């Protein structure tokens, strides 16, 4: 039983990170119907910027927690600028192009960002400095660390903040209006360019937070770390119904739990016929099954004009 609990903890922590990244995908998709495949790379840049800035601050004599906070702020600002730049340079000129064109640009931007990061930060794995004190708790035989707790709390708080922004502010209203019908929204005086840029900027800021959490959790970073993470988060977004914020969060946590339980139990369930190396395919098998029976995702509504 303690093993089951431990796997759930593993899954929820991993899933919270997926959820934060998935929000970036789903916001952009909800507003402009574009899958921003470079989002995983934004997360990666966030992690690497944190390492550099926090390293400099720590070298300047700041205590680790403040250095970490400084790194986080720098990463968020950097990623916001990056998100805005991506939209301005790579997507805005293609706003009225066929849907495949911006998708290809997105993949291109992902490759460009990976290579820029490789040149800037090198090919080696980087160690992410430990900002938080190491504390290990044990509940009912399951171990968890302060960092894991911190990740879940920060993810939940960030997501709550986003919900407030979307449903309680004027900008959020403009975003929802644009998502429903950009043409009508613009006739009502909504500045579409600004709203789309805002979606990219906010999504990228969330990505930066997720990047810092990934770094804090695994304490390593690498210029290719964004790729698989982005793919999983995209899966989570589709699982929850892409374009739907609550769906992306639920999809992320669900995917994390499915993966952890899958890797933990597949061997014993199939009599060692299938082993834990099938961990990664779990996410995608679940995705295929959901899409077969509920193409709009678990929480997605039917959006005729988008489908």
Partner 1 sequence: MHAKLSAIALSVAAALAVTGCGKKEEPKPAAAPAAAPAPAAKPEVLVKIGHVAPMTGPQAHLGKDNENGARLAIEELNAQGVEIGGAKAKFELIPEDDQADPKQGTLVAQKLVDAKVNGVIGHLNSGTTIPASKLYSDAGIPQISGSATNPRYTQQGFKTAFRVMANDVQQGKVLGEFAAKQGAKTVAIVDDRTAYGQGLADEFKKAAEAAGLKVVATEYTNDKATDFKAILTKIKSTKPDLVFYGGMDAQGGPMAKQMKDLGINAKFLGGDGVCTPEFMKLGGPATEGHYCSLPGMPLEKLAKGPDFKDKFTKKFNAEIQLYAPYVYDAVMVMADAMKRAGSVEPGKYLPEVGKTAYEGVTAQIAFDEFGDLKGGAISLYQYKGGKLEYVETLGGGAADASKAGEKK
Contact predicate 91/35, CB 8 Å: no
Examine residue 118 and tell whether it contacts partner 1 (CB under 8 A): yes
53-112: which residues touch partner 1 (CB under 8 A)?
A: 108, 111-112
Cα torsion for 227, 33, 210, 92, to the nearest 10°?
A: 90
- Binding residue for partner 1 (CB under 8 A) from 10, 36, 216, 235? 10
| Binder of partner 1 out of 35, 75, 86, 263 (CB under 8 A) | 263
Instruction: Report the residue from 99, 139, 219, 284 that binds partner 1 according to the rule CB under 8 A.
Output: 219
Please report whether residue 279 would count as binding partner 1 according to CB under 8 A: yes
Provide, rounded to whole angstroms, the least separation between the CB of residue 1 and partner 1: 10
Which CB, 137 or 167, lies closer to partner 1?
Answer: 137
Cα(first)–Cα(last) distance of the chain, in Å?
43
Of 2 and 193, CB closest to partner 1: 2
Among 63, 275, 288, 295, binds partner 1 (CB under 8 A): 275
CB of 119 to partner 1, least distance (A): 5
d(CA 217, CA 222): 14
Instruction: Find, among 151, 150, 146, the residue nearest to 135 by Cα.
Output: 146
- From the list 65-73, 151-159, 179-187, 262-270, the region that binds partner 1 by CB under 8 A is 262-270
Q: Does 123 bind partner 1 (CB under 8 A)?
A: yes
Q: Of 195, 225, 233, 245, which lies in the binding site for partner 1, with binding defined by CB under 8 A?
A: 225
Q: Taking the complex as a whole, how short is the minimal distance between the CB of residue 18 and partner 1, in angstroms?
A: 11
Binding segment (CB under 8 A) for partner 1, from list 39-47, 187-195, 200-208, 259-267: 259-267
Q: Does 228 bind partner 1 (CB under 8 A)?
A: yes
Q: Which is nearer to partner 1, 172 or 222 (CB)?
A: 222
Show the 3-state SS of the chain: CHHHHHHHHHHHHHHHHHHHHHHHHHHHHHHHCCCCCCHHHHHHHHHHHHHHHHHHHHHCCCCHHHHHHHHHHHHHHHHHHHHHHHHHHHHHHHCCCCCHHHHHHHHHHHHHHHHHHHHHHCCCCEECCCCCCCCEEEECCEEEEHHHHHHHHHHHHHHHHHHHHHHHCHHHHHHHHHHHCHHHHHHCCCCHHHHHHHHHHHHHHHHHHHHHHHHHHHCEECCCHHHHHHHHHHHHHHHHCCCCHHHHHHHHHHHHHHHHHHHHHHHHHCCCCCCHHHHHHHHHHHHHHHHHHCCCCCCCCCCCCCC
Which span sits near partner 1 by CB under 8 A: 9-17, 28-36, 48-56, 64-72? 9-17
Applying CB under 8 A, which of residues 81, 89, 97, 115 lies at the interface with partner 1? 115
Judged by CB under 8 A, which of 97, 119, 184, 288 binds partner 1? 119
Q: What does the binding site for partner 1 look like in residue numbers (CB under 8 A)?
A: 3, 6-7, 10-11, 14, 108, 111-112, 115, 118-119, 122-125, 127, 130, 136, 138, 143, 145, 218-220, 222, 224-225, 228, 259-264, 267, 272, 275-277, 279-280
């Amino acid at each position: 039983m303690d093993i089951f609990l431990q796997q759930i903890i593993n899954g929820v922590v991993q899933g919270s990170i997926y959820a934060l990244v998935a929000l970036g995908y789903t916001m952009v998709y909800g507003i402009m119907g574009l899958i921003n495949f470079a989002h995983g790379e934004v997360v990666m840049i966030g992690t690497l910027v944190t390492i550099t800035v926090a390293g400099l601050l720590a070298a300047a004599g700041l205590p680790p927690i403040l250095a970490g906070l400084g790194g986080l702020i720098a990463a968020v600002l950097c990623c916001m600028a990056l998100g805005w730049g991506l939209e301005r340079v790579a997507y805005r000129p293609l706003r009225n192009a066929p849907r495949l064109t911006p998708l290809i640009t997105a993949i291109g931007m992902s490759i460009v960002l990976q290579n820029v990061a490789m040149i800037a930060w090198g090919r080696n794995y980087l160690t992410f400095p430990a900002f938080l004190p190491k504390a290990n708790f044990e509940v009912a035989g399951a171990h968890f660390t302060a960092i894991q707790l911190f990740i879940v709390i920060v993810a939940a708080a960030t997501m709550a903040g986003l919900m407030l922004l979307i449903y309680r502010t004027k900008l959020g209203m403009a975003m929802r209006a644009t998502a429903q019908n950009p043409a009508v929204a613009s006739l009502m005086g909504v500045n579409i360019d600004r709203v789309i840029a805002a979606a990219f900027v906010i999504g990228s800021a969330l990505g930066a937070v997720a990047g810092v959490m990934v770094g804090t959790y695994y304490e390593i970073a690498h210029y290719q770390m964004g790729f698989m993470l982005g793919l999983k988060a995209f899966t989570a977004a589709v699982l929850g119904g892409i374009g739907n914020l609550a769906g992306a969060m639920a999809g992320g946590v669900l995917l994390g739990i499915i993966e952890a339980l899958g890797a933990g139990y597949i061997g014993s369930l199939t009599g060692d016929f299938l082993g834990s190396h099938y961990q990664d395919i779990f996410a995608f098998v679940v995705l295929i099954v959901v899409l077969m029976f509920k193409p709009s995702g678990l929480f997605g509504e039917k959006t005729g004009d988008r489908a």
